[in-house]
Structure 1
Amino acid sequence: MKAALALLALIVATPAAAEVAPGSAKNIPTGLTGAYTDNPFAKILSGRLPATKVYEDRTVLAFMNIHPLSTGDLLVIPKGHYRNLIDIPRPVLDHLIDVTQRLAKAQMRALKPDGIFIRQNSGEAAGQTVFHFHMHVTPQWKAVPLAKVSYGQKPADPRKLAAIAAKIHAAMR
């Protein structure tokens, strides 16, 4: 029941892809500069949206992507409100990169992918759709193409995300 309510909250909170991508809004600057705005990741940090957490400390949060490109796709975000790579302070970025590497190693142990795709987009022109700094940590298998990025797709099953998150978390050393 709890998982169903979390999924419902995500569906209600996620805007339709045809209208506006998550994190974007009309009349809000989406380039490399501009004020930080309320977005899905800010809502996760404030507890207004649920997330399937994989790792958390005082500085960063890692959680499963509800629109995964592959099995085990996760996001790593700072707890501070930074729009992109230009905004994030170096000490926070250094820690976030360290956690990203630890999570990639855990994905390798837990999921046995052929590779890991790590991505960070800064600004709308570079493909950023949620204007809160984040790293994508996406396992890849040779025989399995990545899903197309589509926020109009149905969110992943929270129970499946929780099971994968538990495997990755258990593999962290």
Structure 2
Amino acid sequence: MPGEVNRDPVCLFCRIVDGEIPSITVHEDDSTLAFMDISPATDGHLLVIPKKHAKDLGEIGADDLAAVTSVAQKLARVQLDKLGATGVNLINNWGESAWQSVFHFHLHVIPRYADDPAKDSLKLPWNPTPGDQDRIAAAAAALTD
């Protein structure tokens, strides 16, 4: 049927897109939906998703990925301007070992607030330290076309 969009009837985010589960929407267009995260890491933490179901970064089409990224960029700028955020994290989790809990591609758009723990309780688990140069080079060689 023309205009029909792929949905997974048991997917939480597809059900939000279809209006079966309420959300606080901050942006909607033909291909994306952005809504507030109900378990926010910071004040203003939101999610941007494609309306078409794609399980993860490996499944999402290039056009939908571009649309989601564009909306995330626009809303990140709004977070800086309207919420007084001092930075923004864009986070995508692909797979359970990367903390993906809802298997519908989504970008977390997380405003950050320097020195304001009342608004920002996010503590990322990665603490950058210098890596082994041989392992870095080996990984680069494997990734190079």
* Structure 1 position 45 matched with structure 2 position 21: no
CA distance in 2, matches of 1:126, 1:88: 17
Q: Does 1:146 align with 2:121?
A: yes
SS at match of 2:39: coil
Which is greater in Rg?
2
Match of 1:107 in 2: 79
2:93 aligned with 1:121, yes or no?
Answer: yes
Distance 1:119 1:101 in 2: 12
The alignment yields a C-alpha RMSD, in angstroms, of: 1.7
Q: Which residue of 2 aligns with 1:85?
A: 57
- Looking at structure 1, the residues matched to 40 and 54 of structure 2 have their Cα atoms a distance apart, in angstroms, of 23
Runs (4+) of structure 1 exceeding 4 A deviation are none
Q: Deviations over 1:107-139 (max 9, x none)?
A: 111011111011000111111000000000001
State the match for 2:134 in structure 1: none
CA gap 1:110/1:76 in 2 versus in 1, 3 angstroms = same
**What whole-Å deviation, never above 9, does each CA across 1:133-163 have from its counterpart, x for those lacking one?**
00000011122242579xxxxxxxxxxxxxx
Partner Cα separation in structure 1 for residue 113 and residue 40 of structure 2: 14
Unaligned regions of 5+ residues in structure 2, if any?
1-7, 125-145
In the TM superposition, residue 81 of structure 1 has moved relative to its aligned partner by: 0.6
Alignment partner of 2:22: what SS? coil
* TM-score of the superposed pair, with normalisation by structure 1: 0.62
How much has 1:37 moved relative to structure 2? 6.7
For 1:40 and 1:96, the matched residues in 2 are separated by 18
2:29 is aligned with 1:67: no
Q: C-alpha separation between the residues in 2 aligned to 1:46 and 1:116? A: 28
Higher RCO (Cα < 8 Å, 6 or more apart)? 1
Instruction: Specify the SS of the correspondent of 2:102.
Output: coil
What SS does the aligned partner of 2:90 have?
A: strand
Contact 2:9/2:15 (<8 A) preserved:
no
Q: Scaled by the length of structure 2, what TM-score is found?
A: 0.74
Q: Which has the higher helix share?
A: 1
Write the distance in 2 (CA, Å) between the matches of 1:116 and 1:86.
Answer: 24
Contact kept, 8 Å, 1:140 with 1:146, in 2: the verdict is no
